[in-house]
Amino acid sequence: MLASQDLEGSDEKRPSVQIGDPFRGKALIEVSLDLVEQGLVVSLQDCGAAGLASSLSEMASDGMGVDVHLDRVPLREAGMEPWEIMVSESQERMVAVVSPERLADVQAVCARWELPCTVIGEVTDHGELCALFDDEVIGSIPAGLLTDECPRYVVEQQPKETRRAPVAPVNDEPKTWVFEQYDQLVGSRTSVGRLDAAVLRIDGTRGIAVTLDGPPLGCRDPREAGFRAVLDAAMNVACAGGEPLALTDCLNFGNPEKAEIGWELAEAIEGISLAAESLGVPVVSGNVSLYNETGGAPIPPTPVVGCVGLVRDVTRIPDRWRRGDRLLLLRGSGHGLVEFTWRHAHLFSLAHDVSDGGAALALREAADWSGLAAEVDLVEGEGVIVATTRRFPGTTSSSWSRGLDVRRLRGSGRRRAMSRA
């Protein structure tokens, strides 16, 4: 509901924003994995945007139908109307289609994680999403009209002039104090926290690298915002030794019913598409947060992109630079540099992309992370800073870096006094 209404001057709607329960959410993730790995479910959907209306209509597509008894749905608060139960979203609930003979096994898995499990309906062959309350039909619609056959409308678009906004120096300050207040590693299989992305161990030495990124600070061009958010996220994964495999996005914009915002939304989507195609990586999911305006002023175009990548060996990926390492700036951008970085990550003791704040800030972040400072001849430019024992171009050991614009950041390491913001 929040993605389709303007909250300006409407305080009574603000409590509908859900307060998350990370521990319940973690248990739900584990239950979902158990159910899938044991083959106990025919279908599994989250209850995110549009709640049961969305998840059940998707399950009922392809000619099937669903009867859902809304009076059987567990409620967080009493007195909810049937339509509210149908569309309320929850981040700590999943809907599963289960064969009757496997129901007891599913209930056992849920009980092991102390999660409630309730039968709320049945799969049918009538092709309708049918809502009942006290065994009375209160609404029914062909499921296809809520999925592939749903009505579509064209958002009016009006291009506008964009220019970069000034960026305050405070944006270069460390942000670690925000998330280090909490235990960000508990129960998450985190192998190691990295400078650019988290690395989670899957099995043996295999893992995945995960990161989130957004547009460059001050960027107001929506197509550039979408394009750069994708490439920066992919580069973060590559710097952690991961091959980018999939993307997800969250599109944060103002009111799309205004032609200029509709244009921003379309342009950002095009930028995301162009970057994903260049990487050869699919966008597998996404959501929106629209109507973000206060006093008639919209937020800047803010597409946020998540990227996940495969790490083939979590024991041979970049971490911290070491005394005696050579520091190089691999200058460039785009999918070619992303691919080069993850393919050669095993050669680097550290890899860190140059983004907001330039090479100077990237070096400072790398030094703080490594606990070892470096005296360098600063070279500016887009790209990736790497630390390696390999020789830099011009020597007999530089074949691995042929075709790149590689600049050496000369210097030697010394111990650095650490400080926390």
Per-residue pLDDT, 257: 93
Predicted TM-score of the model (pTM):
0.79
Per-residue pLDDT, 193: 61
Which residue positions in the chain have pLDDT lower than 70?
1-20, 182-194, 391-403, 410-421
Per-residue pLDDT, 396: 37
User: What's the distance, CA 258 to chain centroid?
Assistant: 27
Per-residue pLDDT, 219: 95
Per-residue pLDDT, 278: 96
Per-residue pLDDT, 111: 94
Per-residue pLDDT, 184: 58
Q: CA-CA distance, 354 to 90, in Å (whole number)? A: 37
